[in-house]
Every structure is written in structure tokens, then in C-alpha cells.
Amino acid sequence: MEPLWAELINSDWHDYLGRGRDEDRLEKAAWLTAFLARWDLPELDVKDDKTRRRLRELRTLLRRLALKLHGRRPLHGRDVEEFNAFLNRESVVRKLQRGEGAYTLCYVPVKGALDAVLSEIAASFAHMLIDGDPGRIKICENPDCRWIIYDRSKNRTRRWCEGPTGCGNLIKVRRHRDRQRKDASRGETKRPRPNLA
């Protein structure tokens, strides 16, 4: 599963099969509701135009920043200022709660749920910059997909997204079929192995 910030970026979906379809998943109330629940983010009015517009603005910024980092380019002052505007949206108060025999400290947003969501997504990107490795940001090598991925592999060799079916398998199948077509057009066929039994 991709990190929170990458999942928001990838909500701008492109048909990885190459049929030319695109989909803004922020426009799908069911997807947006599931996204918020998956990351334990505050509930939002998923049909509100302002909510979707602000999420799209953050998504556009995060994609631009991720592409810069992928290209080994530093983030400049204006990038950081625009990013900080999202990061600094949240004001919270702490609240002690008791539940099932244990105390927990929770943070209650003061400004509102949308500000809390925007700030939390921005914070996930900031944590990656500070604690992670921006050099691990990659773009799925399937030109039809273009998902932003964070390569957690030990040797940093991940090249494909882990989307619904995984582009790696899709590309391997395409390459295999291309080789078969080329072999067939040259009249080459694989001979069966002899039975040595």
C-alpha cells in the first residue's frame, strides 16, 4: 500500500491498460469516503465542491513536488511556502480519553475537519521528507499508469505500481506476447523438450 500522500496523488487515475480513460476519484463519493476511513481521517462532506477543490489543489501540489524529487531537483522557497500553507492549516487541542481500561491522548481539530485532513496529508509528505528518503519516489514505468510510488524495496529496484492488478505483471505479459508474435512472424517455434523417461 502506498503512503497517504501518494494515495491522494494517485486519486488522479489513468487507465493502466492503455485504453485512454482517466478518472478523478475525488469526484466519487464512495472512493473518497473509503479513503478517509482507510487513513482514519475525519469525515468530510464528500459531495461538497470546496472539499474536493481543496483536495485537488493539494494533490496537484504534491504531484509537482514528487516529480521534482523524482527528478532529483530540490524544492525551492515557493514550493515550500505553498506546501507550508497546507501543513499549517490545522490547529488542534489535546484531549485525554479513557477507553477499554487505558488512557489515550487524542487531538481534536479546532478549525474544522477539512483543514485537519489537508494538514494530515501534507504532514505525511513532510514525514517522508524528514524520516524517509525522497530518492525512493518513483513513477510507475507503465506509461499508461503514471502512479507515484514510494519504493520501500531493500535494493531500490521497484519499477511498477501495486495497483489493482499490478503493472509489473501486465508489462511482463505484454512483453512475452510481443516476443511470441515476433517469433511467429519469423517462423520460429519452440520445440518441445524430449521425454527422457
User: What is the tens place of the pLDDT at every residue in 97-118?
Assistant: 887 888 888 777 777 889 989 9
The backbone region for 181, taken as left when phi is positive above 0, alpha when psi lies in -120 to 50, beta otherwise, is: alpha
pLDDT > 90 in the chain, percent: 53
Q: Where are the beta strands (DSSP E) in 100-136?
A: 102-109
pLDDT of 173 above 60: yes
Q: How far apart are CA 71 and CA 33, in angstroms?
A: 33
Average pLDDT of the chain is 87
User: Taking the CB of residue 61, how many other CB atoms lie within 10 A of it?
Assistant: 18
Closest by Cα among 43, 130, 121 to 83: 121
Place of cell 529496484: 157
Which range is most confident: 35-49, 153-167, 183-197? Answer: 35-49
pLDDT of the residue at 145: 86
Mean pLDDT of all residues in 131-145 = 91
At residue 108, the pLDDT reads: 76
Q: How confident is the model at residue 20 (pLDDT cuts 50, 70, 90)?
A: confident
Dihedral sign of CA atoms 16, 22, 24, 25 in order? negative
pLDDT digits (tens, 9 = 90+) for 43-83: 999 999 999 999 999 999 999 999 999 999 999 999 999 99
Q: What is the structure's pLDDT at 195?
A: 66
Of residues 179 and 122, more confidence is placed in 122
Answer yes or no: is pLDDT of 5 > 90: yes
- Which is higher by pLDDT, 17 or 56? 56
Domain range 4-185, its CATH number among 3.20.20.140, 1.10.3300.10, 3.30.70.330, 3.30.360.10: 1.10.3300.10
Can you give the pLDDT at residue 39?
95
pLDDT recorded at residue 17: 79
Q: Is the pLDDT of residue 163 over 60?
A: no
